[in-house]
Amino acid sequence: MVNYAYAVGRLRAIEAHMLDESHLIRMVEAPGFEEAFLTLADTPYAEKIDKLEVAFDFETLLKLELLTAKELLLNLAPQNEILGIMFKKYEMENQSDEAYLAELNRIAQKHRFPLFTQYVQGYTLLNQLKIDLLKGQLDVEKALNQYRYSDFSRAAILGLEHYQKSGSLHVLEREIDNYLMEILKKAKYRVFGLEPLIGFAYAKEIETKLLRLILTGKLLQVRVEDIKERLRLSYV
């Protein structure tokens, strides 16, 4: 695993310039959408902003950022199945969520990196809860009792109880992301190995998700407090 020493050093340098909580809060508290977007002009996103064909096209900006992260990681670890599946969820057109979960588990069983295995277990269980909720196939009270004393208790209980009260999935989705971030943040303390690359892949996923959430909220003039309630833990 010392073979990834160069890759880890390269990613650590990039991580030092990723968006931290203070920058995200500054975006949330900006007077409007354009002001929030323009805070990215003094970040590494500036280079891609200059290449946008349509001003303030944040969806294209975020797609470019994820594509850049994927290309970087697959250059550092060519043809790596784990890194490939981490990004595949954004490239699916005809594949169902269940099919993605099955493929994710197949790769986890094949490669057996402990940190990745733990991530896949949490991702699969919690997203299956969400899928079953959307299909009307989940007994919420039974699920609450089943996961109350499990490793997934916070995400499951907060998310399901909020859904019972409001019919909204946003707390469950936030807590799923936070649970997975707590797992993969451990990769920051690994000096060698594939884990820091896996952690970086998820860090970029969450960073772009946070930017989409904030900028969509500002565009729709959502209250600052409501946007803050939906923020996830960041990697940096």
The overall pTM is greater than 0.85: yes
* Chain segment 58-114, per-residue pLDDT in tens: 999 999 999 999 999 999 999 999 999 999 888 766 678 889 999 999 999 999 899
* Chain segment 6-56, per-residue pLDDT in tens: 999 999 999 999 999 999 999 999 999 999 999 999 999 999 999 999 999
CA dist 82 and 223 (Å) reads 38
**What is the chain's length?**
236
Widest CA span in the chain: 51
Q: What is the DSSP letter of 233?
A: P
Taking residue 24's Cβ as centre, other Cβ atoms within 10 Å add up to 22
Give the per-residue pLDDT at 97: 87
Please say whether the beta carbons of 233 and 199 come within 8 A. Answer: no
Q: What mean pLDDT, rounded, does the chain reach?
A: 94
